[in-house]
Amino acid sequence: MEFMKQISKIALAWDLFNQQATKKHIAGYLDIHRKTVQRWVAGIQEKGSLEAFIDQYLQAKKRPRRKRKVDGLVKVLVWQIREEKKSCCGQKIQYFLKRDYGLDLSVTKIYEILREKYVLRSKWKKNQKRGPIPKANRPREVLQLDSVDFGEIHAFNAIDIFSREVDVILRLSLTSRDGRISFETSMERRFDGHVDLAQTDGGPEYKDEFKQTVLKYADRHRVARAYRKNEQAYIESFNRSLRKECLGWTKYKAKDLSMLTKEVEEYLKYYHYERPHLSLGMRPPLGS
């Protein structure tokens, strides 16, 4: 029954087209996509008659569709890019395939290939209700800060939520003095010495000495609400990237500070000049 309805729609679409109805009007009237109407009309015109097109349509529907196979070499490329680009997402793999190899592959197909070799986490639910987060219309308008525990070493991270520029300072303790020194260092070497708003959580590293200094570099200091991680969405996302792509989940010793500092410096170069960012149109924050 459903199949015959489709045949009737094709015939009606052709009849309306011959009556000078627009394809947009036909699509709305038949409750189908405008591109479907375009494909039907073009097919009928190519075949020379409605009957010939429907005959071809019927023959095509009788044959079972073969699942599209992906060349084994393409699969290897997908896996290789994921390994080389620090477990990047499907959209970025699609970007690298197109840029470096001239290959067009859908994101859905890329994830199918990845699932053959890797265990992937479930998709983030886009429709979850999210709390308010700071917005920025230009660089240096909003800076989010947070710290990450790596055992005896702590990473003090900061991100400009507009430009996506970041900085990471490694310290051996988690005091307000460390928070102050890290913030001052990042402001001087990365963020041009001034931001409109600096936002932190309510951790001890962002109290006392930090609070006494923060307004030297920021017009305003805002403390994100407790248990509302969405208010710190940008820096939380970078924290995950730093773990996933650079330092991992290892608990380090104080003696590792020098080695980790070099690793972080190399990662920041990669992040700023090579790593494509989805929200920046697949450009790195400081790349061309």
| pLDDT score at 179 | 97
Burial class (CB in 10 A: 0-12, 13-18, 19+), 1: exposed
Give the residue extent of every domain in the chain: 2-62, 72-115, 142-280
| pLDDT score at 67 | 59
Along the 288 residues of the chain, how does pLDDT read in single tens digits?
566 678 888 888 998 889 888 888 898 888 888 889 999 999 999 888 988 888 888 777 666 656 567 788 899 999 999 989 888 889 999 999 999 999 999 999 999 999 888 888 665 555 555 456 778 999 999 999 999 999 999 999 999 999 999 999 999 999 999 999 999 999 999 999 999 999 999 999 999 999 999 999 999 999 998 877 789 999 999 999 999 999 999 999 999 999 999 999 999 999 999 999 988 999 999 976
Domain 142-280 homologous superfamily, CATH: Ribonuclease H-like superfamily/Ribonuclease H (3.30.420.10)
| pLDDT score at 113 | 92
Tell me if the pTM is above 0.85: no
| pLDDT score at 176 | 96
| pLDDT score at 191 | 97
Distance CA 26, CA 40 (A): 12
